[in-house]
């Protein structure tokens, strides 16, 4: 399977966000190796974790697997480059070093607890990076053994504890890119979902977004690549690097930090926006992709008019109705997240906490 940086150009589910840096030819095999080559990791981190494979990369940094030395449980570690965090991406935390600034991603993740949102575990910091440690979730869908009918419950990923009990500041740097565990790869491996499969997966994504909005936040980069899926079809929403508090009063977002294929018409028109309505549009894009294996709009001009390509496969009237409401070009007439939760096609598949 092609790497995330190049796979977008080879598949109809095209994405615009590129990696933080292209891997140079020859010397480095992945982004993490380029940045961590000859780099001394934070001592407190290496005392707790042994770094593993690269899992992905994006606009703010890259993600690697790691093994907790004491328990042997695998986790995900997002290395966020401090210089890449925009000025609006910082918050002041009175409990952190006497009121120092933290990336908003950490501040938001620490306040969330939901079965379909990746669980925050810890964070570390050095002069260059923040290390955001979360649970590891997902099935590498590009492997031959990953199939939709493989649904036995999985225990936590546990590695052998041999050779993990001694911390090392000069541990080997990951030089292998692991196959992705996201919804993009899951769909790519299986072409499309049946309505019942889509209801199960989409219901979990909606549950996560509903919880996020109810806590006063918006994700702002909802897409299939930010939804991790395991072989039981359990979904976890990840990558809160663009997340932000919901605007209050008359204040609106004036910058778009997501992926253009998921951008709502009001964003494409250059208008200021609140967030929840645009997130509902992105939900519609996700649902369409699940059901068809293709993006709903081949060009921004098509999205501006809200005329998505008819799905090649037969869909129930209730499903088509929900798609039409999600992909309504007017943000004022678009369905709300509460109405999505209560929609007849989906309401039996959404769990609210």
Residues carrying an active site annotation: 221
Is residue 18 annotated as involved in ligand binding?
Answer: no
* Structure token pair of residue 222: 């909802």
Is residue 78 annotated as involved in ligand binding?
Answer: yes
Is residue 236 annotated as involved in ligand binding?
Answer: no
Is residue 223 annotated as involved in ligand binding?
Answer: no
DSSP states of 229-281: E-TT--EEE---TT-EEPP-TT--B----S-GGG--HHHHTT--B-SHHHHHH
How far apart (Å, rounded) are the C-alpha atoms in residues 70 and 50?
Answer: 10
Sign of the CA dihedral with 307 first, then 308, 311, and 315 last: negative
Q: Which of 58, 76, 66 is nearest to 134 (CA)?
A: 76
Q: How far is CA 40 from CA 44, 128, 216, in A?
A: 12, 11, 38
How far apart (Å, rounded) are the C-alpha atoms in residues 130 and 291?
Answer: 37
How far apart (Å, rounded) are the C-alpha atoms in residues 246 and 61?
Answer: 24
Q: Is 195 exposed, middle or buried (0-12, 13-18, 19+ CB in 10 A)?
A: middle
Is residue 268 annotated as involved in ligand binding?
Answer: no
Is residue 59 annotated as involved in ligand binding?
Answer: yes
Is residue 182 annotated as involved in ligand binding?
Answer: yes
Is residue 57 annotated as involved in ligand binding?
Answer: yes
Is residue 253 annotated as involved in ligand binding?
Answer: no
Is residue 60 annotated as involved in ligand binding?
Answer: yes
For residue 327, the tally of other CB atoms under 10 A from its CB is: 24
The whole-angstrom distance between residue 94's C-alpha and the CA centroid of its chain comes to: 28
Q: Tell me the three state secondary structure of residue 28.
A: coil
Q: How far is CA 152 from CA 110, 197, 230, 318, in A?
A: 30, 16, 10, 30
> What residue ranges in the chain does DSSP mark as E strands?
49-57, 61-68, 74-81, 90-92, 101-103, 120-125, 129-135, 217-218, 227-229, 235-237, 244-245
How far apart (Å, rounded) are the C-alpha atoms in residues 209 and 351?
Answer: 11
The residues facing 130 across adjacent strands are 80, 125
Whole-angstrom distance between the N-terminal and C-terminal Cα of the chain? 37
Residues in the annotated binding site: 55-63, 78, 82, 182
Known binding-site residues for ATP equal: 55-63, 78, 82, 182
């Amino acid at each position: 399977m092609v790497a995330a940086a190049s796979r977008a150009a080879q598949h109809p589910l095209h994405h615009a966000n590129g990696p933080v840096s292209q891997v140079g030819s020859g010397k480095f095999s992945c982004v993490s190796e380029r940045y961590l080559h000859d780099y001394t990791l934070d001592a407190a981190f290496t005392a707790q974790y042994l770094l593993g494979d690269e899992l992905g990369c994006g606009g703010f940094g890259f993600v690697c697997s790691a093994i907790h030395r004491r328990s042997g449980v695998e986790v995900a570690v997002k290395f966020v480059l401090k210089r890449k965090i925009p000025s609006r991406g910082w918050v002041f935390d009175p409990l952190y070093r006497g009121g120092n600034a933290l990336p908003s991603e950490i501040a938001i993740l620490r306040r969330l607890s939901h079965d379909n949102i990746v669980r925050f575990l810890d964070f570390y910091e050095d002069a260059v990076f923040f290390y955001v440690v979360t649970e590891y979730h997902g099935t590498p869908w590009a492997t031959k053994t990953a199939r939709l009918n493989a649904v036995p419950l999985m225990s936590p990923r546990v590695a052998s504890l041999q050779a993990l009990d001694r911390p090392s500041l000069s541990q080997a740097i990951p030089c292998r890119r692991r196959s992705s565990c996201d919804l993009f790869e899951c769909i790519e491996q299986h072409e499309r979902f049946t309505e019942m499969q889509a209801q199960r997966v989409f219901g979990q994504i909606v549950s996560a977004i509903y919880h996020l909005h109810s806590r006063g936040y918006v994700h702002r980069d909802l897409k299939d690549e930010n939804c991790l899926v395991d072989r039981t079809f359990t979904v976890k929403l990840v990558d809160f690097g663009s997340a932000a508090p919901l605007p209050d009063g008359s204040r609106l977002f004036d910058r778009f930090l997501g992926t253009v294929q998921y951008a709502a018409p009001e964003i494409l028109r250059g208008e200021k926006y609140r967030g929840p309505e645009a997130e509902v549009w992105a939900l519609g894009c996700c649902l369409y992709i699940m059901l068809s294996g293709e993006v709903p709009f081949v060009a921004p001009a098509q999205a501006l008019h809200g005329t998505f390509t008819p799905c090649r496969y037969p869909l129930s009237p209730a499903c088509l109705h929900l798609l039409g409401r999600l992909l309504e070009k007017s943000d004022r007439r678009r369905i709300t997240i509460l109405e999505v939760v209560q929609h007849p096609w989906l309401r039996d598949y959404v769990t609210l906490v």
